[in-house]
Amino acid sequence: MNLREAVIAVSIALMIALLAYTIGAGGLGPIAPSRLRDLAVSYLINTYNPWNITKSALSLEAVTAIVWDYRGLDTFFETSVLFVSIVGVALVFRGYREKLGLGGKGLSEIVKTSTKVLTPLILIAGISIAIHGHLTPGGGFQGGSFIAVLLVLMSVVFSLDFVIGSGLTSSKLLMLRSIGLVGVLSTSVALVVLGIVLGTHAYIFQNIAREGSPLSMPTWLLDRPTGGTLLFFNLFEALAVAAGLSLAFLVLSLRESEVEEALGESEWYE
Amino acid sequence: MEVVPISIAAIAALLSVVATYLAVRSRDMLAAVVFSAVQSTAYALIYYVLMAPDIVLVYIPVSVGILPAVAVLLIKKTERYES
Could you report the per-residue pLDDT of B15-63, keeping only the tens digit for each?
A: 998 899 899 988 999 999 999 999 999 999 999 888 888 889 989 999 9
A73 CB within 8 Å of a chain B CB: no
- A17 shares its domain with A121: no
Phi, psi of A225 (to 5 degrees): -70, 140
Question: Closest Cα partner for A253 from A154, A131, A147?
Answer: A154
Residue B30, domain member (yes or no):
yes
b/e string for B7-43 if b means 16 or more Cβ within 10 A?
A: eebbebbbbbbbbbbbbeebeebeebbbbbbbbbbbb
A24 CB within 8 Å of a chain B CB: yes
| Domain tally, chain A | 2
Nearest-CA distance from A106 to chain B in Å? Answer: 15
Residue B83, domain member (yes or no):
no
Residue B55, domain member (yes or no):
yes
- Cβ distance B13 to A20 less than 8 Å, yes or no, reads yes
A140 CB within 8 Å of a chain B CB: no
- A94 shares its domain with A21: no
Contacts of A152 in chain B (CB under 8 A): 65-66, 69
What gap in Å lies between CA A269 and CA A94, rounded to an integer? 13
Domain that holds residue B17: 3-77
- A139 shares its domain with A215: yes
Phi, psi of A202 (to 5 degrees): -155, 155
Report CA-CA distances (Å) from A5 to A2, B17, B25, B34: 6, 13, 9, 19
- A17 shares its domain with A117: no
Residue B32, domain member (yes or no):
yes
The pLDDT tens digits for A180-202 are 999 999 998 888 888 889 888 88
Of A17, A20, A249, the CB nearest to B69: A249
Q: Is A113 strand, coil or helix?
A: helix
Residue A270 pLDDT more than 70?
no
- Cβ distance A253 to B18 less than 8 Å, yes or no, reads no
Nearest-CA distance from A21 to chain B in Å? Answer: 9
Nearest CA in chain B to A25: B1
Q: What residue type is assigned to position A27 of the chain?
A: G
- A60 shares its domain with A158: yes
Q: Identify the residue with better confidence: B23 or A257.
A: B23
- A88 shares its domain with A4: no
- Cβ distance B57 to A152 less than 8 Å, yes or no, reads no
Residue A124 pLDDT more than 90?
yes
When pLDDT is averaged across residues A241-248 and rounded to a whole number, the result is: 92
Can you give the length of chain B in residues?
83
- A76 shares its domain with A191: yes
Of A13, A63, A145, the CB nearest to B18: A13
Q: What residue type is assigned to position A249 of the chain?
A: F
pLDDT value at residue A114? 93
pLDDT value at residue A1? 66
Contact between A104 and A257 (Cβ < 8 Å): no
Q: Which of A17-21, A23-27, A126-130 has the highest mean pLDDT?
A: A126-130
pLDDT value at residue A202? 84
| Cα dihedral A113, A119, A124, A130 in deg (nearest 10) | 160
Could you tell me the sign of the dihedral formed by the alpha carbons of A86, A91, A97, A102, in that order? negative
A202 CB within 8 Å of a chain B CB: no
Beta bridge partners of A220: A225
- A200 shares its domain with A82: yes
pLDDT value at residue A267? 57
| Cα dihedral B75, B78, B79, B83 in deg (nearest 10) | -120
Residue A265 pLDDT more than 70?
no
- A25 shares its domain with A91: no
Q: Is B68 strand, coil or helix?
A: helix
Residue B13, domain member (yes or no):
yes
Nearest-CA distance from B30 to chain A in Å? Answer: 15
| Domain tally, chain B | 1
- A83 shares its domain with A176: yes
Helix B67-77 to helix A229-252 angle (10° resolution) is 20
Alpha helices in A25-159 (DSSP H): 38-46, 62-65, 72-92, 109-131, 140-157
Contacts of A149 in chain B (CB under 8 A): 61, 65-66
- Cβ distance B13 to A24 less than 8 Å, yes or no, reads no
What ipTM was assigned to the predicted interfaces of this complex?
A: 0.85
pLDDT value at residue A262? 67
- A39 shares its domain with A26: no
Residue of B1, B6, B58 to mutate, testing the A interface (most A Cβ within 10 Å of its Cβ): B58
Contact between A230 and A65 (Cβ < 8 Å): yes
Host H or E run for residue A243: helix A229-252
Domain that holds residue A26: 1-32
Q: What residue type is assigned to position A58 of the chain?
A: L
Of B54, B62, B69, the CB nearest to A145: B62
The pLDDT tens digits for A24-39 are 777 777 666 678 888 8
- A5 shares its domain with A129: no
- Cβ distance A148 to B69 less than 8 Å, yes or no, reads no
- Percentage of the residues of chain B whose pLDDT score is greater than 90: 45
Contact between A72 and A234 (Cβ < 8 Å): no
pLDDT value at residue A98? 77
pLDDT value at residue A260? 72
